[in-house]
Chain A
């Protein structure tokens, strides 16, 4: 008797909505620092802004205790360059990642993270998160530092990427927010940013929100706002039927939509990746050797092991070599940061010519992940520690599989049988998609050395900033942005809220309660946007297709969007997400139209401009919505080292981090 159908089948009447309905009722709130999205970046931002003395309000559309992409756990803590065992300096690390990204990355974000990732992890330890093997479960392992008890991943020599017990990361952060007196408003979806002034002087003065269970309207006035909404999803691929999506399906891009409408500047929106959407397999629950399972032996149906190779394609002789740099290689960067693997920093990998070797009959399907071939401590690290703590794996994989009898000491986990071409990368659970199925890349707002956007009053952290990123980058940049926003809020008086803006926004968000014409549910609409994105903004793009796509998005706004309907506050939230997706789609297609070149780094293919990354297009090409339509400009890759900034990473950090003035208390 668990499902709605079973409940009704028991002869009960259709239950009424369990929460009070308050459509249109207004709640006015004010704060110094408003945190838009209480995920990883938002939680760290809130904690650090609060420690810096600000009044802080976190607004989260889910429930902060377990919310966001990092809300279901974390096993890898990346970019910890300043941990006591690291052999990579923050400067070297930043330089390498920027180069690996071909330059299309955010320098201030990258360097702030390299400097503070380890500090952010120590913050978490102080809050009660386990980051060391104090019990000695892994004593003697190659990846354990005997003095500190820290455990390392990928590169056991250079040691700047850690393994952590992060399954309860969000509850730990949540408790700390409560302890410090951060105000947390759950189940409220921010729908727009409030602004005052026009042109260069326009500043962000707060936000509006919608109660996702009750439907009331929030007007929030803030001296500073931090955009921390992570990466948008559900844009290209949407179906609730074949359910497995790696990313949190509730993160749909109201952050992008709100910041876009307010006039914030974005970069890298044109980037997208292949994705198999809801057709993927359960992440880390089928045979694979990727990320959480990095290094796991893969064998074929006859028990023959697939070789691992180094960056030159040389087969490795031993298991230990999977975790040490190749001859002459400075250090290796692990998976997960969304940095393309360059020759300099790539990890050891499963033979990339496996597809051909399967077709030639050398390896026979199905393949298996055979942890029993690893020494006990490596095996326990992968299945007990990593799968036990990674996002969406403790219950969905570890508990589920062990209860069903899976034992990594004696069992081999099967790799799904797929099109042979999909065995070219050991991330086998990602499955096979169609080429037009895409996933959000590194698009986000452009920031300066204060992690502030072009709009005064609006800061950003985590996935909301353009460029590569992961959990620790969200944490470290949140920590930094919180300090900067707290300082930015100091001395600013509380702005007023513009009635015309809030009235316009109310009309927009409640429209689905009075649909025009033939009412349409949110799922139908979401899938329609997906089809548009696939058709006009799929793998291959062209000016004609993108223009047509933009025209179609405009049409949808007038026609079907006006028919979007909602029967309760939950459906209203979903419908408003869909309205936001129209803005997100428009921003992505406009950015794609603006970049008149293809780019290997950005996974961006223009049929009409096939040259890959030509010199004149090696540029961030930021884009924003101006008063009379989209505007773009040239912005050099190294904008953060040119005037008005200082010429080095260190100098800029010293000038902007706010640490020298002793504002941060642990």
Chain B
């Protein structure tokens, strides 16, 4: 059991981006370019940056584009946004939503570039 601390409420939206510590090597290039300084270097070298100001994120995704380790950073839209991203499969009539528990198979086609 961890300690219970006296902390302010997490800001809403409270995450903005999520790091995978198994992939991220703490190089901080994302923190280096984040336009709003949402991300701060971790005091421990080699650890994932700290999401300090998730409430200032513009959700532009340039941290993900800057990152050289695919999968280390995931952009996480706030629920009040992802809850409105809904699609319907024409052939089956199924409904899907961004953030749903059992999403359909990813569409592997890359963007035109």
Contacts and interface: CB of A to CB of B under 8 A. Distances in A.
A37 B95 CA distance: 45
Interface string A399-423: 1111111110011111010000000
Given A244-B59, A249-B56, A405-B105, A8 B35 contact: no
Given A2-B51, A9-B5, A248-B35, A396 B77 contact: yes
Given A165-B112, A414-B88, A18 B40 contact: yes
A72 B77 contact: no
Nearest to B13: A243
Nearest to B113: A165
Contact of A282 (B3, B85, B88, B89): B85
Given A388-B111, A405-B96, A410 B89 contact: yes
A242 B33 contact: no
B60 to A, nearest CB: 4
Interface residues of A, number: 73
Interface in A243-257: 243-245, 248-250
A212 interface: yes
Interface in A127-180: 130, 137, 165, 167-168
A380 interface: yes
Contacts of A404: 96, 98-100, 103-104, 106
Interface of A: 1-5, 7-12, 15-16, 18, 62-63, 65-67, 71-72, 130, 137, 165, 167-168, 212-213, 240-245, 248-250, 281-282, 285-286, 368, 370, 372, 380-381, 384-385, 387-389, 391-392, 394-396, 398-407, 410-414, 416, 570
B86 interface: yes
A15 B44 CA distance: 10
Nearest to B102: A405
Contact of B60 (A3, A281, A372, A391): A391
Contact of A406 (B56, B66, B90, B107): B107
Interface SS majority for chain B? loop
Given A243-B55, A384-B112, A401-B98, A286 B85 contact: yes
Interface of B: 2-3, 5, 7, 10-15, 17-19, 21, 32-37, 40-43, 48, 50-62, 64-66, 75, 77-78, 80-81, 84-91, 96, 98-100, 103-109, 111-113
Given A401-B98, A411-B96, A243 B78 contact: yes
Interface centre among B59, B62, B90 (most CB of A within 10 A): B62
16 contacts: A3-B51, A7-B50, A63-B34, A63-B35, A66-B65, A71-B60, A381-B112, A389-B111, A396-B61, A402-B106, A402-B108, A405-B103, A406-B87, A412-B88, A414-B84, A414-B88
The 4 closest A-B pairs by CB, nearest first: A395-B61, A388-B111, A405-B104, A72-B60
A185 to B, nearest CB: 15
Contacts of A10: 2
A15 B50 contact: yes
A399 to B, nearest CB: 7
A412 B80 CA distance: 21
Contact of A286 (B10, B61, B78, B84): B84
Contacts of A1: 19, 21, 48
